[in-house]
Structure 1
Amino acid sequence: MQMKSPSRNATRLTRRGRLVLLVTGAVLAGTAVAVPLLLLGSHHEEAKPQKLVIPEGWRASQVYDAVDTALKLPPGSTRKSLGKAGLKLPHEAGGNPEGYLFPATYPVERGATPASLLRFMVDTAKGKFGNAPVAAGAQRNAMNVYQTVTVASIVQAEASTKADMGKVARVVFNRLRRGMPLQMDSTLNYVLNRNTVHTSVDDTHMQSPYNSYQRMGLPPTPIDNPGAEAMRAAINPTPGNWLYFVTVKPGDTRFTADYSEHLRNVAQFNAGQQTTGQSQVPGRSTQQPALTQQPSATQQPLATQQPPVTQRPPVTQPPR
């Protein structure tokens, strides 16, 4: 039997059907165009700027290295850029930004340079240090702002906790006012570019304006870049008559004005060190002559009548 051919009407779309097909095709076509556009847009979004984190207590040398790394520059590039950076530093700084590279998190925008990042840090520091409360606090302590930043840098390096910062600042001021050398190991560590609790007698004989065992007064510049807490301590030190301190164990720093009490605290620290099997600090020998007539702020003096002692434990600051 012969099959009949399909009717034309069977394949013909109605007007409504043609309209639906056209609309559906347009939607599909629009979707096909939109997907590539979305994908294209995702590839061309502005990349978020990198972040450069400067911890409290870092020295300028560490900041320079961090900037070199962030900008993918050869080592030493940031240090070499200092002369052309146009940093607005206090006159007393003599062009040295130590103390004024304020610890914070900085965006590294496209086109950033060592000079632009250093200017950002210095401008931030000037904003923090250049206000009326800081100026008034410095004046109360018979200092200018630059000297106060120097005190804050010592506090940042020496204090084991933020709670101790005000007391450490008070020790600094008390010793200065009594005409006693500061005898802070942190100033020696700065000039020797190290971070250690092991200070030898040879170290304390070093000829340097940063040797606070031999030289009176503050070091000539800050010894690191202090944060806001250390600066607050420097302008508002905790009231007290303390001249000595030693961290017997983490979280337990003993402050005293009594030298005999300080020696007992040091002995207690040494007993704890012997329990943990830690060695004595090299060079603290009973054969060494006394450096000065005044005992160290943080240790007993290097005198022939005193047994060797160790330094206090490391401070809980970022490595420097």
Structure 2
Amino acid sequence: MAGTAVAVPLLTLGGEEKAAKPATLVIPEGWRAGQVYDAVDKALALPPGSTKKAIPRAKLKLPNDAEGNPEGYLYPATYRLPEKATPEQLLSTMVDTAIKKFNGAPIAAGAQRNAMNVYQAVTIASIVQAEAATKADMGKVARVIFNRLERGMPLQMDSTLNYALNRNTLTTTLSDTRIDSPYNSYQRMGLPPTPIDNPGEEAMRAAINPPAGDWLYFVTVKPGDTRFTADYAEHQRNVAEFNARQRSQTAAR
């Protein structure tokens, strides 16, 4: 997962650390909205839950499809914290940054070229951000998503289940795949109703311009070894190898 958000105090001319703001808040790629809210609360020394409660007051300029939910539009970047910064100001800046990035010609045109709107592209990018272990894998993960959608196959992405269950794990059980949730991409067809995190620029690029390929399945057998295939039997062998490695690592602990 991405690293920790950091509020960075600025230095004075004398080189001494200035305790008061201004400072900067770093939001990593792939963070969920809840993580962003917690980071803003901490950076502004507010009670937990303050930033989430501020969403209605912020009057965020989100697309209609978002229905007021900023997930996917809290753009990962480094934000300056003015002396009297408020959650509403920070949320608005993040969303405005995302809108500017996403509605620009390259992404908007890329989404249209793939017969989808920008919100759908952001949703795909959020899955890519969560699923791809490396930058090099992002395009292939996006292609798997497109190939499955085009064939009328469920996405079957563990990342959407993790979002529904508010967790991060490599292990998905059979009971997990049976949960009643619109984010259960094992049972529900198409994309989840919202993005599942806040994707960065590379994930967005992958979502609008994935490489050609026939891949339908992938699994990260071990760090740095994600295997993509169009053959289900081969995928099953890869999954079996992944499961064997997980069992051996568990036994060794």
**TM-score of the alignment, normalized to the shorter chain, above 0.5:** yes
Where does residue 5 of structure 2 map in the other structure? Answer: none
Where does residue 112 of structure 1 map in the other structure? Answer: 85
Where does residue 181 of structure 2 map in the other structure? Answer: 208
Q: Name the aligned partner's letter for residue 120 of structure 2.
A: Q
Q: CA offset at residue 62 of structure 1?
A: 0.6
Q: CA offset at residue 252 of structure 1?
A: 0.9
Q: CA offset at residue 278 of structure 1?
A: 4.8
Is the counterpart of residue 66 in structure 1 residue 39 in structure 2?
Answer: yes
Residue-by-residue CA offset, 1:16-47 (whole Å, 9 max, x unaligned)? xxxxxxxxxxxxxxxxxxxxxxxxx999x996
Following the alignment from structure 2 to structure 1, what is the Cα–Cα distance between the partners of residues 42 and 244? 43
Following the alignment from structure 1 to structure 2, what is the Cα–Cα distance between the partners of residues 55 and 177? 31
Which of the numbers 154, 178, 184 marks the counterpart of 2:157? 184
Where does residue 79 of structure 1 map in the other structure? Answer: 52
Is the counterpart of residue 129 in structure 1 residue 102 in structure 2?
Answer: yes
Where does residue 229 of structure 2 map in the other structure? Answer: 256
SS in structure 1 at match of 2:156: coil
Where does residue 68 of structure 2 map in the other structure? Answer: 95
Q: Name the aligned partner's letter for residue 253 of structure 1.
A: T
Which of the numbers 147, 152, 159 marks the counterpart of 2:120? 147
Query: 4+ residue runs of structure 1 moved beyond 4 angstroms?
Result: 45-48
Following the alignment from structure 1 to structure 2, what is the Cα–Cα distance between the partners of residues 156 and 42? 38
What is the number of equivalent residue pairs in this alignment? 238
Contact 2:21 2:83 in 1 (8 A): no
- Which one has a bigger Cα radius of gyration? 1
Following the alignment from structure 1 to structure 2, what is the Cα–Cα distance between the partners of residues 154 and 278? 31
Following the alignment from structure 1 to structure 2, what is the Cα–Cα distance between the partners of residues 46 and 230? 36
Where does residue 315 of structure 1 map in the other structure? Answer: none
Gapped runs of 5+ residues in structure 2?
1-13
Residue-by-residue CA offset, 1:248-302 (whole Å, 9 max, x unaligned)? 21111110001111122223323433443459xxxxxxxxxxxxxxxxxxxxxxx
Contact 2:21 2:81 in 1 (8 A): no
Is the counterpart of residue 199 in structure 1 residue 175 in structure 2?
Answer: no
Q: CA offset at residue 238 of structure 1?
A: 1.5
Q: CA offset at residue 93 of structure 1?
A: 0.3
Following the alignment from structure 1 to structure 2, what is the Cα–Cα distance between the partners of residues 147 and 78? 26
Contact 2:20 2:83 in 1 (8 A): no
Percent sequence identity over aligned pairs: 74
Following the alignment from structure 1 to structure 2, what is the Cα–Cα distance between the partners of residues 180 and 274? 29
Following the alignment from structure 1 to structure 2, what is the Cα–Cα distance between the partners of residues 174 and 136? 20
Which of the numbers 202, 215, 219 marks the counterpart of 1:229? 202
Q: CA offset at residue 214 of structure 1?
A: 0.5
Residue-by-residue CA offset, 1:79-122 (whole Å, 9 max, x unaligned)? 11100101100010000000000001101111110000001100
